Amino acid sequence: MKKITLLGLLSVLCSFTTPGFTQALVSVDALVLLHELPQPCSTLTDAFQRVYPLEAKTPNTAAFYHAWSSKLEAYAQQAQTLSANFYRQNPLGFTPASVPVTSNNVSPAQQVSMEAATRDLAQKMLSDPAFAQKFAQMSEAEQHAYLAEQLSKHGIKPVAGTPNRNVAAPAGLDKNWMEMCSELMQSTLDMSWMNLQSEVQVRYTEKHAEVNKWAETEIKKLPMISFGEYGHDHDPEKVKAIQQQARVKHADVANTMLKEMRPLFLQFRKQFSERISQLNAAFKEVNYGKAYNFGMFYNQVLQAQTLMLTGQHTLLSNEINVLEECARWEFERRNL
């Protein structure tokens, strides 16, 4: 039986995909896509036209953003298809070694042990970004020593030597994919940016409550008139006039709120751009995987790209919620 060499094992354990195998991402520059998103509204009139196009009687904000949203949805669907295909081919969540050690090199028992070592190494590198980067920066001798130690835990004691085939460098270790993806995923958990918006919304909710209280107080000041057998009540025409004044006040409050929210929306977009810029640039450098092998990091990279798309949907949905809230007051001013 031929001896199992360290260099041969290194190529098997680290080549989680076939040499030359490419792993495509969605071909989209996420920053360009974000910059194509229409700018936030600066006036209540603008918001009203977006939410109630052509004097519509019900909100139809989606119509204004349809072109951009359709493009985003198409990219997101491509990412979903890529992810589904990946898991269909790799139920474990990573691509196992596809360059097996042939039976004339190792025994069946050794083959099983090596496959177990492969899974252990893959799972460790996927769950520990710091280790993955450390392993990539090791010298060849250090990598050999580490692998020999791990293999010994599975009952294999490789010997030094030269393999019978060329050893390809581990795929995907030329860039810090795991670190960049982890940073992006962690940043999506930080929702502190919403606190600023919540503070503004609470403040203007209180202002609308003040308008309601003003209208209630003014109506109570009106003299009562008799409606015969129907009893007494305030003059309906004067009540209607006060209610109309209140609607104008509500619209003014909404307009002021919208002007205060616009800089926040722009700030949120800028912060999102900064979070995705490094990974977006890295995707462009490898031409979105068209001739590149991400190795064991492909699934994490694909998930990160999906977040770069869904994050933009979150930004727009948040803006639309505020637009519709403000535009409703203008709708009531015009129609009630």
Mean pLDDT, to the nearest integer, of 290-319?
93
Residue 240 pLDDT > 70: yes
Question: How high is the mean pLDDT of the chain?
Answer: 82
In the chain, where are the structural domains located?
A: 6-33+59-188, 193-286+308-335
Angle subtended at Cα 78 by Cα 76 and Cα 81, rounded to the nearest 5 degrees: 110
- Residues forming beta bridges with residue 233, ordered by sequence position: 225
Residue keyed to tokens 């909710």: 205
What pLDDT, on the 0 to 100 scale, is given for residue 1?
Answer: 37
Q: How confident is the model at residue 16 (pLDDT cuts 50, 70, 90)?
A: very low
How many CB atoms sit inside 10 A of residue 38's CB? 12
What pLDDT, on the 0 to 100 scale, is given for residue 159?
Answer: 56
CA 1 to CA 13: how far, in whole Å?
Answer: 21
What pLDDT, on the 0 to 100 scale, is given for residue 207?
Answer: 98
Cβ neighbours for 53, distance < 8 A, ≥ 6 positions apart: 60, 63, 64
Q: How many residues does the chain have?
A: 336
Residue 3 pLDDT > 60: no
Q: Which of 64-68, 120-124, 154-158, 166-170 has the highest mean pLDDT?
A: 64-68
CA 10 to CA 33: how far, in whole Å?
Answer: 41
What pLDDT, on the 0 to 100 scale, is given for residue 22?
Answer: 59
Q: E-strand spans in 63-181?
A: none
Q: How confident is the model at residue 194 (pLDDT cuts 50, 70, 90)?
A: confident
Residue 105 pLDDT > 60: no
Q: How confident is the model at residue 15 (pLDDT cuts 50, 70, 90)?
A: very low
CA 8 to CA 163: how far, in whole Å?
Answer: 5
CA 210 to CA 60: how far, in whole Å?
Answer: 29
The pLDDT tens digits of the residues spanning 241-295 come to 999 999 999 999 999 999 999 999 999 999 999 999 999 999 999 999 998 988 8
Who wins on pLDDT, 324 or 157? 324
What pLDDT, on the 0 to 100 scale, is given for residue 191?
Answer: 82
What pLDDT, on the 0 to 100 scale, is given for residue 5?
Answer: 46
What pLDDT, on the 0 to 100 scale, is given for residue 103?
Answer: 43
What pLDDT, on the 0 to 100 scale, is given for residue 226?
Answer: 73
The pLDDT tens digits of the residues spanning 41-95 come to 999 999 999 999 998 999 999 999 999 999 999 999 999 999 888 888 776 655 5
Tell me which amino acid residue 278 is: Q
Residue 221 pLDDT > 60: yes
What pLDDT, on the 0 to 100 scale, is given for residue 112?
Answer: 66
Q: What is the pTM of this model?
A: 0.74
What pLDDT, on the 0 to 100 scale, is given for residue 21?
Answer: 52
How many CB atoms sit inside 10 A of residue 189's CB? 6
What pLDDT, on the 0 to 100 scale, is given for residue 224?
Answer: 82
- Residues forming beta bridges with residue 224, ordered by sequence position: 234
Who wins on pLDDT, 236 or 19? 236
How many CB atoms sit inside 10 A of residue 187's CB? 15
Who wins on pLDDT, 108 or 258? 258
3-state secondary structure of 233: strand
What pLDDT, on the 0 to 100 scale, is given for residue 142?
Answer: 73
Torsion angle of the four alpha carbons 242, 244, 246, 248, in this order, in degrees rounded to the nearest 10: -140
Q: How confident is the model at residue 97 (pLDDT cuts 50, 70, 90)?
A: very low
CA 248 to CA 216: how far, in whole Å?
Answer: 15
- Residues forming beta bridges with residue 159, ordered by sequence position: 5
How many CB atoms sit inside 10 A of residue 323's CB? 24
> What does DSSP say about strands 224-226 and 232-234: parallel, antiparallel, or unpaired?
antiparallel
Q: How confident is the model at residue 172 (pLDDT cuts 50, 70, 90)?
A: confident
Mean pLDDT, to the nearest integer, of 160-175?
60
Q: Which of 258, 297, 313 is nearest to 69 (CA)?
A: 313
